[in-house]
Structure formats: C-alpha cells, structure tokens
Amino acid sequence: MNKGKIFSAAFLSLILTFVSLILLSIIFPSCGFYRGEPVTVWKFIEWILLTEEVNIAFLIVAIALSYLVMGTWIRDPKAAILYPLLSFLMICAYLVYKEKVYVLFSSNPFPFITTSLIFSLIGAFIEEKRPKKTFFQKLEEGGVRIDPAYVKKVSLPIECPRCGVKIYSNARYCWRCLADLYHLIYAKNNKL
Ligand SMILES: [Zn+2]
C-alpha cells in the first residue's frame, strides 16, 4: 500500500468534491442551493467543511461522485478505507488550526464520513474486479495492429546478447557492437 498515493487521494478527493459541487450547482441550479444568487468560492469551501448550512443531499451527491472516482483510481480496498478518513482528518486539522472550530462538536460529520467511505470502497471493488487492459490491448480492440515486439515488456537495464554490455533503454541497436536488439531480444519470442 502506497502511503503517498493515499495522501494524494485524500487531497484530490477534497478538490474533486469542491469541483463537483460547483459543477452540480451549474447543471442543476434549481435543485441545489444556488437559487440564482451568486455563490462565492469560499461558500463552497464552507459547505465542504460542514461549517455552513447546506443542502445535505446535494453535498452527499458531490462527495459520493468524488470518492467513487478516487476509489477506482486507488484500487486497493484497504487504502480505500484509509484515505476518506485521512481527508476527514485533514478537514478537522484545518478547522482546528485555522478557524478554531471543532468540527466533531460543531457540526455533524456523519454524512461526510459514511458517504466517502462507502463510495470509495465501491470504487475500489469495481476497479479490482474489472479485468485490467493495457493501452496496447485497447488499441488492438480499436483495430490498430501493433508489432508484438513493441508490446513486449522489457525490464531495464538489458544486456546485449552479443557483447554483454548493459543498455539502459530499449534501444533498437546496441551502442557498442551495433547488434540488432530488435531481432535479438524484442522480437525473439514472438516468432517474427
Ligand atoms: Zn552489443
């Protein structure tokens, strides 16, 4: 489990929630809290931070969408539990540090925690069950024919089969003996 990925997922989810709140209020102006009045950026932030009175159904949709997307990105179900909690802690830390508001006591954190947890887990499970396709497989499905030698996975550095020198890229020719690496390595098991 990648700690850096969990942290960035937590951070990105908060930004994504913010963006989806704005998008939702543009797409459905009458369903949300927009009501024709201009809403400042700070208002959206206050809604996410649960410090301002909010149309809770609207906020939940935004949270659900964002954490679903991030759940599919993070894939790992264990990480999908950790990063919503981490993003909630980040909100709390911000409020305590900057606004001197104790969110656990001043507002109801229940919708944020449960929604983000459930949807990030759903996203992670969907992505885990889905068969993974490489970029090349998708291209082939689209009718693009690819030389199998290009699709072959090569772990660097490779060793030149002729002179034995280390090569730090998947170059076509050896830089020392000019051996044709395309035919010697990449195309070898593909019967070209
Ligand atoms: Zn060589």
Both 112 and 143 in one domain: the answer is: no
Centre of ligand 1 to C-alpha 148, Å, is 23
> Where does 31-93 show beta strands of DSSP type E?
none
Both 109 and 178 in one domain: the answer is: no
Both 73 and 152 in one domain: the answer is: no
- pLDDT tens readout for residues 138-152: 888 888 887 777 777
Both 95 and 171 in one domain: the answer is: no
What pLDDT score was predicted for residue 135?
80
- pLDDT tens readout for residues 72-123: 888 888 888 898 989 888 877 877 777 666 655 555 677 788 889 999 999 9
What is the pTM assigned to this prediction? 0.62
Residues paired with residue 167 on neighbouring β-strands, in sequence order: 158
Centre of ligand 1 to C-alpha 147, Å, is 23
Among 13-22, 93-102, 123-132, 153-162, where is mean pLDDT lowest?
93-102
d(CA 84, CA 115): 9
Q: Is 173 helix (H, G, I), strand (E, B) or coil?
A: strand
Q: Which residue range forms the structural domain that includes residue 155? A: 138-190
Question: Number of structural domains, the chain?
Answer: 2
Last residue of a domain, one of 108, 129, 150: 129
Question: What does the radius of gyration of the chain's CA atoms come to, in whole angstroms?
Answer: 25
Centre of ligand 1 to C-alpha 159, Å, is 8
Centre of ligand 1 to C-alpha 167, Å, is 9
